[in-house]
């Protein structure tokens, strides 16, 4: 007999923790390899965690409703024979696969560290270390809610939001690598945060008010948005585009397209295709911040925001630059249907390199989006509206106009390259017509 461990998986790029929303097994249950064990909720996706082994459930280490860091043990299984596995999880950092470009910046990388308490080593995840150093939090004064009292990113975010931050110590002992070597003190400077989050307001509740509990999904979304705004210096820019020819072209073929293909040809598919083409020409936009370097991604994988009544999901169109407008339209239709039916998988949520948000679908004409961390930018496609426009010949005409609003991470991108990127998207869209564009 051997006891195997199931650990919290990383269900998507940049995901550092997950919440056990429901156990699907009990102690004593017999399971086969790949059988679902639990439903896990993150800020990006709800997914089932499959078993890596066949055997009998020994212990449910994690509790329902509690958030655990990636790599923490959530369950143990008793198996027939074999060797007990205890592989340390990979730290959830941005990786650079072959083909990506790494651009080194002067910023220092966040180093891994260990604390030693009562002779037992206490390991902190890179996300916890980074947050504690950025906000000057003394981890020895924090009570963790994770397994075995481990401190999770959620614990630190709650402290940061409350504004009641335990001061970081000015020195820490660092144990030498050589055996029996005496530890020498080394100072760790914790940068002071630029702005502390305000404590949660004490809102009075009077008769007639409705209290709506914050769900795990909403908490995860809030934490991710807060992280993006805290870590990425946001800037934004906007450009207006004359899409009169595009509107006429799409309207002239949409009915025949629906009869032939069985799904709608939306305006959004044309915008996604234009963005994918422009990203290929301006690859700097398709980048991510990684501490001491900028990673320029080789694949163009476009995240599209899809909202439900109480949550926001970002499924990904992989290799969007290689797809036709028809292919993109099909994927938009299929991914949106999966979001609304709850069938979206974690694989369909991972790998995004740039986000395109169809804010115009609910009538917005101008907005400032929050970047989908750790990406470097997000583009809001606003509503197409008819407006009087002064033409090149000085005449006034009614044209179909749309605003494209782009938020950018100013650590990665500057206004010049973003302006050129938007001008290229504008050029592609304004030249989309029956004469020079095919949806196939």
Selected catalytic residue, list 86, 292, 310, 410: 410
User: Under a CB-based contact definition with an 8 Å cutoff, are residues 305 and 357 in contact?
Assistant: yes
Are the C-beta atoms of residues 155 and 127 closer than 8 Å to each other? no
Q: What's the token pair of residue 108? A: 């220092």
Q: Half-sphere exposure (CA, 13 Å, Cβ side) for 189?
A: 2
Backbone angles phi, psi at 220, to 5 degrees: -65, -40
The secondary structure of 302-354 as a DSSP string is EEE-EE-SS-EE--EETTGGGS-HHHHHHHHHHHHHHHHHT---SGGGS---E
Going by the DSSP 8-state scheme, the letter that residue 139 receives in this structure is G
Pair 6, 201: CB distance under 8 Å = no
Concerning whether 242 is annotated as a catalytic residue, the answer is no
Does residue 414 carry a catalytic annotation?
Answer: yes
How many other C-beta atoms can be found within 10 angstroms of the C-beta atom of residue 265?
23
- Sequential DSSP letters for 194-251: SSPPPPPP-----TT----PPPHHHHHHHHHHHHHHHHS-EEEEEEEEE-HHHHHHHH
* Catalytic, out of 86, 292, 310, 414: 414
Q: Active-site residue numbers?
A: 410, 414
């Amino acid at each position: 007999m051997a006891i195997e461990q199931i650990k919290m998986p990383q269900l998507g790029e940049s995901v550092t923790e997950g919440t056990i929303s429901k156990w699907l097994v009990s102690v004593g249950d017999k399971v086969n390899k790949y059988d679902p064990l639990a439903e896990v909720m993150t800020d990006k996706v709800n997914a089932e965690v499959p078993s890596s082994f066949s055997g009998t459930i020994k212990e449910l280490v994690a509790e329902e409703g509690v958030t655990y860091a990636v790599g923490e043990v959530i369950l143990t299984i008793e198996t027939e024979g074999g060797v007990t596995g205890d592989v340390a999880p990979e730290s959830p950092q941005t990786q650079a696969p072959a083909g990506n470009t790494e651009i080194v910046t002067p910023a220092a990388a966040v180093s891994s560290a260990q604390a030693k308490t009562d002779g037992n080593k206490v390991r902190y995840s890179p996300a916890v270390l980074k947050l504690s150093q950025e906000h000057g939090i003394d981890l020895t004064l924090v009570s963790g809610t994770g397994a075995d009292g481990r401190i999770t990113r959620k614990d630190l975010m709650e402290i940061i939001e409350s504004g009641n931050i335990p001061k970081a110590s000015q020195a820490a002992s660092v144990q030498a690598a050589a055996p029996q070597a005496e530890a020498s003190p080394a100072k760790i400077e914790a940068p002071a945060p630029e702005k502390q989050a305000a404590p949660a307001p004490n809102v009075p509740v009077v008769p007639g008010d409705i209290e709506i509990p914050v769900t795990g999904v909403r908490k995860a979304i809030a934490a991710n948005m807060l992280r993006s705004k805290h870590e990425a210096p946001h800037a934004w820019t906007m450009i207006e585009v004359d899409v009169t020819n595009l509107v006429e072209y799409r309207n002239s073929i949409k009915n025949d397209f629906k009869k032939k293909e069985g799904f709608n040809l939306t305006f959004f598919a044309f915008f996604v295709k234009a963005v994918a083409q422009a990203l290929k020409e301006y690859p700097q936009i398709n980048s991510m911040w990684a501490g001491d370097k900028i990673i320029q991604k080789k694949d163009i994988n476009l995240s599209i925001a899809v909202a439900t009544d109480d949550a926001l999901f970002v499924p990904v169109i992989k290799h969007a630059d290689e797809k036709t407008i028809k292919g993109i339209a099909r994927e938009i239709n299929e991914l949106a249907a999966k979001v609304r039916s709850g069938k979206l998988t974690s694989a369909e949520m991972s790998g995004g390199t740039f986000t395109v948000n169809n804010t115009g679908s609910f009538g917005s004409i101008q907005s400032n989006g929050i970047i989908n961390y750790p990406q470097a930018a997000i583009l809001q496609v606003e509503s197409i509206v008819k407006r009087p426009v002064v033409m090149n010949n000085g005449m006034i005409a009614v044209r179909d106009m749309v605003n494209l609003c782009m938020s950018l991470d100013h650590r990665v991108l500057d206004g010049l390259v973003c302006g050129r990127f938007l001008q290229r998207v504008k050029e592609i869209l304004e030249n989309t017509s029956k004469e020079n564009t095919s949806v196939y």
